[in-house]
Amino acid sequence: MKGFLNKVVNGKPNGATTKSAEGGKPSSPTHAEANVAAMRAMDTTPRADISLPRGRERRRSSLSRSSKMQSIKELPLLSETPMLKREALFRQKLQLCCILFDFEDSESDVKGKELKRETLVEIAEYVNTPSGQKIFTEALMPDIVHMVRVNLLRTLPPQTDDYDPEEDEPAMEIMWPHLQVVYEFFLRFIVSSEVNGKVAKRYVDQSFIRSWIELFDAEDPREREYVKTVLHRMYGKFMSYRSSIRKVISQVFFRYIYETGRHNGIAELLEILGSIINGFAIPLKKEHIQFLEKALIPLHKPRGVAIYHPQLSYCISQ
């Protein structure tokens, strides 16, 4: 487990590449449809203290989380479990990793937070080998995507009005000890040759992709780096989503240019676009020309252009 943690601590995704996304290929198969309903029905996630009133109800919630985390402690390690029982155990660990903690209170649920982190590291390390990735069956995809959705696809905290990205230090994400390992795990899922893109997109649907792109506004640059790397890989894997991914990115740009004037991830979005534009066939399609004219050229207008000007210049020069 230490080996995996050493790869993860520097904040860089293990699977980052700069290869053209337009040429990405999907991978191999697994099983069917009823799981979609199962995934939607699973939204009974225990929530952190932050959404609960103080007092007796809060203590009850903390006790409930503690007893659930105790269940994790009692589960055996995947590596010490017979092959035939590993899928069921993996599902149990995924479900327990959906428990959320209040990181605002650094003294609450300390053991529970550490147990969850250790479990996340265990499952991420398990799927870091070709043999471990055999666990990525369609039967487990609803649980995998649900765990990722619950931990990562959240409402980002609002920035203070006086925050200036050119002058101020970014606020680092307090949940990063958990989030980083979830990102690393999901990256392994997306790049795995065991995961067939046509099957996986039943669970990684377009609403998931839209919510994923919203994470580019995270203030923590470590998180934006993972969000960028995983989206780049999803663009390569899910070919039928490419047009809609470009459309959602252009909507982010329009909001930034014409409404808010604030967004933390314009530079990272442009890095992805540089790779995408590289893969456009010549002569350019009308849709691609409109994208360049309507989404990219107006990015020269906002006051914050200096922050992302190198990436914008690269996209325009392509």
pLDDT tens-digit map of 194-229: 999 999 999 999 999 999 999 999 999 999 999 999
- The fraction of the chain above a pLDDT of 70, given in percent, is 76
The pTM is what? 0.80
CA 32 distance to own-chain centroid: 24
Q: Which residue has the higher pLDDT, 312 or 6?
A: 312
Q: Which band of pLDDT confidence, cut at 50, 70 and 90, is reported for residue 74?
A: confident
Mean pLDDT score, 253-266: 93
Cα dist. 36→40, 137, 200 in Å?
A: 7, 14, 11
Q: Give SS3 for 73.
A: helix
- Spatial separation of the C-alpha atoms in residues 159 and 219, rounded to whole Å: 8
Rg over CA atoms, the chain: 20
Residue 106 pLDDT more than 80? yes
pLDDT band for position 68 (50/70/90)?
low
pLDDT band at 169 (very low <50, low <70, confident <90, very high): confident
Is residue 56 scored above 80 in pLDDT?
Answer: no
Please state, in angstroms and as integers, the Cα–Cα distance from residue 33 to each residue in 39, 132, 142, 198, following that order: 11, 24, 10, 12
pLDDT at 148: 98
pLDDT in tens, 265-291: 999 999 999 998 887 778 878 888 888
More confident residue, 23 or 272: 272
Helix spans in 101-259 (H): 110-126, 141-152, 176-191, 197-200, 206-214, 221-237, 242-255
Residues comprising the chain, all counted? 318
Question: How far, in Å, CA of 113 to CA of 92, rounded?
Answer: 17
211 token code pair: 């919510």
- The pLDDT, as a whole number, for residue 53 is 37
Q: With bands split at pLDDT 50, 70 and 90, how would you rate the model's confidence at 71?
A: low
Higher pLDDT, 56 or 152: 152
pLDDT at residue 147, as a whole number: 98
Mean pLDDT of 38-43: 43
pLDDT of the residue at 65:
65
User: Cβ distance 93 to 122 under 8 Å?
Assistant: yes
For residue 37, what pLDDT is reported? 44
Angle made by CA atoms 318, 257, 316, in degrees to the nearest 5:
10
Q: Give residue 115's pLDDT band: very low, low, confident or very high (50, 70, 90).
A: very high
pLDDT at position 54 is 43
pLDDT for residue 91 is more than 90: yes
- Most distant CA pair in the chain: distance in Å? 66
Crossing angle between the packed helical segments 110-126 and 83-96, to the nearest 10 degrees? 140
- Structure tokens belonging to residue 317: 């020069």
pLDDT score of 60 more than 60:
no
| C-alpha span between 162 and 175 (Å, rounded) | 24
